[in-house]
């Protein structure tokens, strides 16, 4: 359970009950809710986040070696092996109660859009219907040189051992996961769509992101400037907390079901 709500920039601490009720009130009146999720959303499914000191996905690697075009060009087998290992991890895990609660929110609010930085596909698996995957999807593939989409069945791996990637049948360049690496643009039009929705939404739920990676990190700011109530759900204060209207401290898998249960009770 979460103990104490913390209002960033505010005058003091509010109890969790007051904060959660304020969030529920805002959601009950909302026409459009944007749920902006990051790696912390999937932590309780057993997927490590990126920036946790000990267990994060970067703990044993330098991100520049793995999540950049230069890293792949230098050692495609290393990067392909790392992603195959992560695909295996995701394949063995499932969405948790927090993902399911976000999907259930669609029954309680006229429009809910999930804007996620996650590449694991758990929101779709949980039943959310409108999802913008800003950083791509680990189970989709394209070629390195030409971005040709490649529909192949790639076996997952139990280890992150180096493995040569398959070759694009059209141009012969190595195949890579269709995700967004550092220095790459987000999929065309997708970010603009996310920005428009963020500006228009009544409530933005910001769930489990450190708010360190642009341009996704700017969306809560866009929502706040557009007049939305920004509700952050995170186990720790983050870069987003500075301008969140409400900070609910605790795990997404506990807080989101509580919010939905209270909304359901209001509607009953």
Asked if residue 135 binds ligand BJW (CB under 6 A), the reply is yes
Quote the CA–CA distance of 136 and 217 in Å, as a whole number: 16
Q: Is 39 in the site for ligand BJW (CB under 6 A)?
A: yes
Is 96 known to be catalytic?
no
231: tokens are 């509700």
Q: Per rule CB under 6 A, is residue 93 in the interface with ligand BJW?
A: no
Please list the alpha-helical segments (H only) found in the chain: 16-29, 63-66, 69-74, 76-92, 97-105, 122-126, 190-200, 219-225, 252-267
Q: Which of 99, 135, 148, 242 is catalytic?
A: 135
Residue 176 touching ligand BJW (CB under 6 A)? no
Q: Please work out the total of residues on this chain that contact ligand BJW, with binding judged by CB under 6 A.
A: 33
Q: Mark the segment that binds ligand BJW (CB under 6 A) among 146-154, 192-200, 221-229, 230-238.
A: 230-238
Q: Residues 41, 234: contact at Cβ < 8 Å?
A: no
Report, in angstroms and rounded to the nearest whole number, the Rg of the chain calculated over CA atoms. Answer: 19
- For ligand BJW, the binding residue among 30, 43, 79, 114 (CB under 6 A) is 43
260 binds ligand BJW (CB under 6 A): no
Q: Please return the burial class of 71, using the count of CB atoms within 10 Å of its CB with bins 0-12, 13-18 and 19+.
A: buried
Under the rule (CB under 6 A), what is the footprint of ligand BJW?
38-40, 43-44, 49-51, 67, 117, 119, 135, 179-185, 208-210, 212-215, 233-236, 238, 251-252
Give the residue numbers annotated as catalytic, written as ranges: 135
């Amino acid at each position: 359970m979460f103990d104490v709500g913390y209002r960033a920039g505010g005058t003091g601490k509010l109890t969790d009950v007051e904060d959660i009720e304020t969030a529920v009130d805002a959601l009950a009146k909302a026409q459009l809710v944007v749920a902006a999720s990051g790696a912390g959303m999937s932590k309780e499914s057993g997927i490590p986040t990126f920036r946790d000191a000990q267990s994060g996905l970067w703990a044993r690697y330098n991100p520049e070696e793995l999540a950049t075009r230069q890293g792949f060009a230098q050692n495609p087998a290393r990067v392909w092996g790392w992603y195959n290992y992560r695909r295996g991890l995701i394949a063995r895990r499932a969405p948790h109660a927090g993902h399911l609660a976000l999907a259930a929110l669609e029954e309680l609010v006229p429009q809910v859009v999930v804007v996620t930085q996650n590449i694991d596909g758990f929101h779709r698996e949980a039943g959310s219907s409108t999802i913008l995957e800003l950083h791509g999807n680990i189970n989709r593939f394209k070629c390195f040189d030409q971005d040709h989409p490649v529909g192949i069945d790639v076996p997952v791996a139990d280890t992150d051992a180096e493995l040569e990637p398959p070759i694009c049948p059209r141009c012969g360049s190595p195949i890579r996961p269709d995700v967004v690496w550092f220095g790459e643009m987000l999929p065309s039009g997708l970010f603009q769509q996310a920005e428009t929705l963020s500006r228009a939404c009544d409530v933005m739920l910001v769930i489990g992101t450190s708010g360190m990676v642009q341009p996704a990190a700017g969306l809560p700011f866009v929502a706040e400037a557009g007049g939305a109530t920004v509700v952050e759900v995170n186990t720790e204060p983050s870069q987003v907390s500075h301008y969140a209207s409400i900070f609910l401290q605790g795990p997404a898998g506990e807080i989101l079901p509580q919010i939905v249960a209270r909304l359901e009770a209001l509607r009953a």
